[in-house]
Amino acid sequence: MLIETAFVKLDIKDQELTNIFIGILNDSDEFSIIGEKSQQKPDLILFELGRDYEKDLDHIQAFLENNQSTEFFLISKYSDQDILIKSLRIGVKEFFPTPLKTDMVDEALDRFRDRREKKKSKTKKQSQVFSVVGSKGGVGTTTIAVNLAVALAMKQEKPSVALLDMNDVFGEISIFLDLSPKHHWGNITNNIERLDTLFLSNILSEHDTGIHILPSPRFLNEQSPTPATMEILIDTIKMNFDYVVIDMGQSTSDTAFKVFQISDLLLIVTIQSLPCLSNTNLLIKSFSDYGLIELKNIHIALNRYIKNGSVSKNNAEEGIGKKISWVIPNDYPTTMAAINTGKPLCQIAPKSKIVKSFNEYAGSFFPEEPKKGKKWTWFSARS
């Protein structure tokens, strides 16, 4: 299974103790030590109590009240019963007296892993599969698939996102993200009997935005996946990711139909063009009539939208017989700059209207976050 990193912050004054904890944590791929200035929220804080331990415990209590997903481990040369009891009452999970016993630390980290895994299994939502298909060639299907995957991954909840390029011929996701992957889905479909989460993790390529990519082959003589192998592949990916975005290109093969059946959402990309809108209408009717996916789970993305275009949004909806779910503004310069530099739109023009459009649509799949006051952080409170 893909390892989910736990971020650990050390607030230990004793250098010898610091070195011991660094050595223990670096022995596992599951932990990543973050610095004092890091903006990454810690999953675990290792803290050495000072002489004014009552003040330290008050700070810890205030922090834990505002950051319930972070755990505290305390290290202290003051180990009388009152300190231990107060530490446990305010929510500290582990208490290490000095001199430190490393076997106690190992056991505490094992308990931390168990708690984290149980919490994850209780709160983890069922994986969602989004298939993106174009009404015609050249309508921006890959641009939308790539940037939707990135927008999902950049949400505050930090969901895990996989992006698949299921174009049979010369898929372009690798070019759009400036990647030179060593593997593609042909490596899996030709060895489907070997597929497990470990094999999958070795095949996927990770982009700096955090999304994991499975590209298509860059040559013609690769055998296309069958509906059966595609189902196995997607089921395995769903076990490891919160969202799976699939660039289907314009495929309507039997394998594509199987993907549509598996999908929770089918996003049809169209533009303000009568041929595209006519094709969109036919695709909606065909997918619905064949029973591949429920009509309510088909979304329409109107790409390159021009407000005063020859075909209005209302006319487009009348033509396809369905409400348009997502209107993406026309921004040719930004889009081409992103494609030609191999970067997602958010890295080219983070404040542009087109990036805002992607963020808003991605945000529609997350519950509305309650408004919060000033963010309370551990190190700001200590300063």
3-state SS of the chain?
CCCCCEEEEEECCCHHHHHHHHHHHHCCCCEEEECCCCCCCCCEEEEECCCCHHHHHHHHHHHHHHCCCCEEEEEECCCCHHHHHHHHHHCCCEEEECCCCHHHHHHHHHHHHHHHHHHHHHHCCCCEEEEEEECCCCCCHHHHHHHHHHHHHCCCCCCCEEEEECCCCCCCHHHHCCCCCCCCHHHHHCCHHHCCHHHHHHHCEECCCCCEEECCCCCCCCCCCCHHHHHHHHHHHHCCCCEEEEECCCCCCHHHHHHHHHCCEEEEEECCCHHHHHHHHHHHHHHHHCCCCCHHHEEEEEEEECCCCCCCHHHHHHHHCCCCCEEEECCHHHHHHHHHHCCCHHHHCCCCHHHHHHHHHHHCCCCCCCCCCCCCCHHHHHC
Residue 31 structure tokens: 């932990």
Note if the bond before 99 is cis, omega within 30 degrees. Answer: yes
**C-beta separation of 157 from 341 below 8 A:** no
Classify strands 212-214 and 205-206 as parallel, antiparallel or unpaired. antiparallel
Residue 207: CB atoms within 10 A of its CB come to 21
Q: Is the dihedral of CA 86, 88, 90, 92 positive or negative?
A: positive
Task: Report how far residue 157's alpha carbon sits from residue 370's, in angstroms, rounded to the nearest whole number.
Answer: 13
**Residues facing residue 129 across a β-bridge:** 244
The two three-digit tokens of residue 198, written as one number:
């470990």
Question: Strand 205-206 to strand 326-329: parallel, antiparallel, or no bridges (unpaired)?
Answer: unpaired
pLDDT along the chain (383 residues), means of 10: 75 93 90 84 92 90 87 88 86 91 93 82 71 95 97 92 85 90 78 79 90 82 75 88 94 88 96 94 90 92 93 93 96 96 96 97 80 54 54
pLDDT of residue 21: 94
The pLDDT value recorded for residue 1 is 41
Q: Given this model, what pLDDT does residue 197 score?
A: 78
pTM of this structure: 0.65
